[in-house]
Chains A and B, each alone.
Chain A
């Protein structure tokens, strides 16, 4: 199977830092994506990791450990508009462009 696990819900305070974890099956791994999705809207691309390490992009960072089948998305200086679902998606198989999405983590940012 191609299981992707991430927490269902998280709550964090405005201005704080939150880390959303994602684990996946390592066999055939070929890239991991994070998307943000507001309710009733399509996902928007946040980050892409295919090599181990941290990718930083403004307030958002994403980390990958291929050997552990583990990634996290780090959101800094949280804003109310960051309240959304965060989807971890994995691509398996060389030459494949298909993505398998996790169930998403609903993040609620509170004042």
Chain B
């Protein structure tokens, strides 16, 4: 149990376009989902925390107008990178937390974004 999927697994896009990444909890309801970014040989950096039905909370330095997060249901959160630029190329990973009583986050397989 506790499987999280991400789609797409990789995407290449042109500079200036927008890319949407989906994160789904397949066999549990996720009250909270987290979005991370990981640059090569770096650790995971939390971008934002989203709770179902409410606005996402962004970490300092993350532009909320550029990285749009929607957590429309207890099993789906989306991250849209708007007007992508080459410096946005990174590995984007989501994680999900189950309802109260479970402490760990379950991570999706990640999405490799390359902006040309």
Using CB atoms and an 8 Å cutoff, list the residues of chain A in contact with chain B.
31, 33, 35, 40-45, 48, 50, 87, 97-104
The 17 sampled A-B contact pairs (Cβ below 8 Å) are A35-B107, A40-B110, A40-B112, A42-B107, A44-B107, A45-B106, A48-B104, A50-B103, A87-B43, A97-B97, A97-B105, A99-B46, A99-B105, A100-B46, A102-B43, A103-B43, A104-B43
A-contacting residues, B61-112, CB 8 Å:
91, 93, 97, 103-110, 112
Question: Mostly helix, strand, loop or mixed at chain A's interface?
Answer: loop
Pair A103/B42 contact, Cβ less than 8 Å: yes
Flag whether B44 is at the interface (Cβ < 8 A).
yes
Pair A43/B104 contact, Cβ less than 8 Å: no
Q: A101 to chain B: closest CB distance in Å? A: 4
Question: Mostly helix, strand, loop or mixed at chain B's interface?
Answer: strand
Residues of B in contact with A, size category: 20 to 34
Flag whether B49 is at the interface (Cβ < 8 A).
yes
Pair A31/B103 contact, Cβ less than 8 Å: yes
Using CB atoms and an 8 Å cutoff, list the residues of chain B in contact with chain A.
32, 34, 42-46, 49, 91, 93, 97, 103-110, 112
Q: How far is the CA of A31 from the CA of B109 in the complex (A)?
A: 24
Q: How far is the CA of A26 from the CA of B91 in the complex (A)?
A: 30
The contact of A98 among B42, B46, B93, B103, by CB within 8 Å, is B46
Instruction: List A contacts of B97 (CB < 8 A).
Output: 97
Q: How far is the CA of A107 from the CA of B43 in the complex (A)?
A: 14
